[in-house]
Structure 1
Amino acid sequence: MFTKETGVLTVTTSYTSNPASTTVELKSSYNIPLVLVVAAIPMLIVQPWVAGLMGLFGLFLMFQAVTLRLLFTPTDLDIYRGEKLIRRFPYREWQNWRIFWNRVPILFYFKEVKSIHFLPILFDPNTLKTCLEQRCPRI
Structure 2
Amino acid sequence: MTSVNSSSVTTSVELAPNYKIPLVLVGLSLPILLIQPWIGGIFSLFGLFLMFQTVAIRLQFTETALDVYRSGQLIRQFPYQDWQNWEIFWSKVPILFYFKEVKSIHFLPIIFDAKMLRTCLEKYCSKE
Report the TM-score when normalising by structure 2. Answer: 0.91
User: How much has 1:82 moved relative to structure 2?
Assistant: 1.8
Q: What is the match of residue 5 of structure 2?
A: none
Matches within 5 A, 1:8-87: 22-87=11-76
Q: What is the match of residue 3 of structure 2?
A: none
Distance 2:11 2:40 in 1: 42
Distance 2:124 2:36 in 1: 44
Runs of 4+ more than 3 Å apart = none
CA RMSD of aligned residues (A): 0.9
Aligned length: 119
Q: What is the match of residue 79 of structure 2?
A: 90
User: How much has 1:22 moved relative to structure 2?
Assistant: 2.3
Higher Rg: 1
Distance 1:53 1:82 in 2: 25
Structure 1: where are the runs of 5+ without partners?
Answer: 1-20
| Structure 2 counterpart of 1:116, from 90, 94, 105 | 105
Pick which of 80-89 and 97-106 moved more: 80-89
User: How much has 1:28 moved relative to structure 2?
Assistant: 0.1
Distance 1:83 1:28 in 2: 14
Distance 1:82 1:38 in 2: 26
Structure 2: where are the runs of 5+ without partners?
Answer: 1-9
User: How much has 1:104 moved relative to structure 2?
Assistant: 0.4
User: How much has 1:44 moved relative to structure 2?
Assistant: 1.0
Report the TM-score when normalising by structure 1. Answer: 0.83
SS at match of 2:100: strand
Q: Once the two structures are superposed, what CA deviation does each residue of 1:90-128 show, in whole Å capped at 9, x if it has no partner?
A: 000000000000010000000000000011000000000
Q: Percent identity?
A: 63
SS at match of 1:29: coil
